[in-house]
Structure 1
Amino acid sequence: MKKKKNIAIVAHDNRKKDIMEWVAFNWKELLQHDLICTGTTGKMVEDTLAMSCHEHGAVPPTVARLKSGPLGGDQQLGALICEGKVDMLIFFWDPMQPQPHDVDVKALLRITVLYNIPTASNRSTADFMVTSALFHENYQPILKDYAGYITREVDMS
Structure 2
Amino acid sequence: MKIALIAHDKKKPDMVQFAIAYESILKNHKLYSTGTTGTRIMEATSLEIERFQSGPLGGDQQIGALVARNEMDLVLFFRDPLAAQPHEPDITALIRLCDVYGIPLATNMATGEILVKGLARGDFEWRKIINP
Instruction: Tell me, yes or no, whether TM beats 0.5.
Output: yes
Q: Which residue of 2 aligns with 1:121?
A: 107
| Structure 2: gaps of 5 or more residues | none
Deviation of 1:130 after TM superposition, in Å, equals 1.2
Q: Distance in 1 between matches of 2:107 and 2:122?
A: 19
Who is 1:39 aligned against? 35
Indicate yes or no: 2:121 matched with 1:138: no
- Aligned residue number for residue 83 of structure 2: 97
Other-structure match for 2:68: 82
Query: Residue 51 of structure 2 corresponds to which residue in structure 1?
Result: 65
Stretches of structure 1 lacking an aligned partner (at least 5 in a row) = 51-60, 144-157
Rg: which structure is higher?
1
- Structure 2 distance, partners of 1:89, 1:43, is 17
Spell out, residue by residue over 1:114-141, the C-alpha distance to the aligned partner (whole angstroms, 9 max, x if none): 0100011111111111111235x52148
How many Å separate the matches in 1 of 2:61 and 2:127?
A: 24
Cα displacement string for residues 14-70 of structure 1 (whole angstroms, at most 9, x for unaligned residues): 1001111111110000010010000100111111222xxxxxxxxxx4210000100
- Higher helix share goes to which structure? 2
**C-alpha distance 142-113 of structure 1, shift in aligned 2 (>3 A):** farther
Match of residue 110 from structure 1: 96
Paired positions, count: 128
- The normalised TM-score by structure 2 is 0.91
CA contact (8 A) 1:116 1:141 kept: no
The runs of at least 4 aligned residues of structure 1 exceeding 3 Å deviation read: 140-143
Q: 2:9 aligns with which of 13, 17, 22?
A: 13
Give the AA of the match of 1:47: E
Judge conservation of contact 1:22–1:123 (CA < 8 Å) in 2. Answer: yes
